[in-house]
Amino acid sequence: MNTIHLQQTLPQVFADRNSVTSDVWHQDLLFRKGEAYLIEAASGTGKSSLCSYIYGYRNDFQGIINFDETNIKAFSVKQWIDLRKHSLSMLFQDLRLFPELSAFENVQLKNQLTGYKKKKELIALFETLDIADKLHTKVGKLSFGQQQRVAFIRALSQPFDFIFLDEPISHLDDANGQLMGQMLLEEASKQGAGIIVTSIGKHIDLPYNTLLKL
């Protein structure tokens, strides 16, 4: 997948508003593979909804979202499964980890779908983010900042053309935020992938091609 094209896209809940001032909603917007985008937003402007629309979790929007000029509402369940395995990676704001599983088991669930990374590569990611000692700890017992790092590692544990990160460092210190930025750039560069980051303030420091206001 090379492009994600939003054409006059707008959450249905916003449809009764007199006007919407946004660089994303109700615009003609093209996200290109290989480029990095930062979407800055205030709370309640729909950034998490945007992620859910593009990942196919929700379709309560007006307008059109195309992947390589194919309307996503035309995709079958099988096609969505394939997209989520090979083309789209998502780090949701609420993380969506399994609290009863260990940190490593959460990552392995994703990695086992494609066998994208070797076990030693995954462990190295835990070591880089200073949570190697939490490999076998149940996620439900970790702090939210530690869980964010686990979810980030999981997001890197698959092939992708685009990776979305919804407020990925909201509970991290600057040092860990910088580490995540370096790791993200390295993985995205290796895959030639596009990066889309949302933020309500604190964000990963990357060489963004485009800044958008939601």
- When pLDDT is averaged across residues 6-34 and rounded to a whole number, the result is 92
d(CA 58, CA 35): 25
Instruction: For residue 37, list its beta bridge partners.
Output: 196, 210
pLDDT at site 117: 96
pLDDT at site 17: 78
- When pLDDT is averaged across residues 104-133 and rounded to a whole number, the result is 96
Q: Mean pLDDT of all residues in the chain?
A: 95
Q: Is the pTM higher than 0.85? A: yes
**Terminal-to-terminal C-alpha distance of the chain:** 24
pLDDT at site 44: 81
Q: Tell me the chain's radius of gyration from C-alpha atoms.
A: 17
Domains annotated on the chain, with CATH: 3-213 (3.40.50.300)
**Cβ atoms 114, 122 nearer than 8 A:** no
pLDDT at site 210: 97
- When pLDDT is averaged across residues 117-139 and rounded to a whole number, the result is 97
Q: Which percentage of the chain shows pLDDT scores above 70?
A: 100
The count of other CB atoms within 10 Å of the CB of residue 29 is: 19
Query: Given a cut of 80, is residue 198 above it in pLDDT?
Result: yes
pLDDT at site 87: 97
